[in-house]
Structure 1
Amino acid sequence: MLALTENVTEIVNQLTDEVPGIAGIRVATEPDGQSLSVSPAEQASPGDQVLEQDGATVYVDEAAAVILDEMVLDGGVDAEGNIEFAVGQQA
C-alpha cells in the first residue's frame, strides 16, 4: 500500500484547512494508463482506496493503487509556491 511522507501530510492538511470543501487529494491514472495526476478532492470516487495519516486524507483510484503499491508519496513547495509531488520506493 502507498505510504505518505510527513511533507505530504503537512501539504494536504494545509490545503484542506485553507480551501473550503476540499477533504484531501486524489491520485488518479491518466488516460494513457502510465501517468498519474494529483488534484484536490471533495470526496473519494467509487473504488478509491482511502489513506488517512496524521489528519491528511489521500484518495487513490484503483489503477493508481496497483502502480503505487509499495511506493511512498512525497511532496514539497517550490520557490514560486507550486506544490510538487514525487513517488519513490519504500525503504
Structure 2
Amino acid sequence: MLTISESAAEVIKLVLVGGDSPEGSGLRIAPAEQGLQASIADQPQDGDEVIEESGVRVFLESQVATLLGDKVLDAERDANGELALAVRD
C-alpha cells in the first residue's frame, strides 16, 4: 500500500484547504496521457483504493494502486522552489 510522508500530507492539506474542499474530500491520483494526474475529489470513485494517513485521504484509481503499491508519496521543492508531490521507492 502507498505510504504518505508527513511532508506530503502537509502539502495535501494545504491544497484541500486552499480549494475550500468539503469534509471527506481527498487527493485522487489516476492515469493521465503522460504519467499520473492528481486532482481534488469530493469522494472516491467506484474501485478506488482509499488511503487515510496523517490526517489526509488519498484515492488511488485501481491501476494506480497496483503501480504505487510499495511506494512513498513525498513532497519536494521543484526548480522554482515550489512544493510538489513526488513518488519514491
TM-score of the aligned structures, taking structure 2 as reference length = 0.81
Q: Which residue of 1 aligns with 2:62?
A: 62
Which deviations, in whole Å up to 9, do the C-alpha atoms of 1:21-40 show, x marking residues without a partner? 352211111257xx211111
% same residue: 31
Q: 1:45 to 1:77 in 2, by over 3 A?
A: farther
Unaligned stretches of 5+ in structure 1? Answer: none
Structure 2 matches for 1:20-59, cutoff 5 A?
20-21=20-21, 23-31=25-33, 35-59=35-59
**4+ runs of 1 displaced by more than 3 Å?**
76-83
SS of residue paired to 1:69: coil
SS of residue paired to 2:40: strand
Q: What is the alpha-carbon distance in structure 1 between the residues aligned to residue 26 and residue 74 of structure 2?
A: 15
CA RMSD, 1 decimal: 2.1
Task: Tell me the amino acid that sits aligned with residue 48 of structure 1.
Answer: D
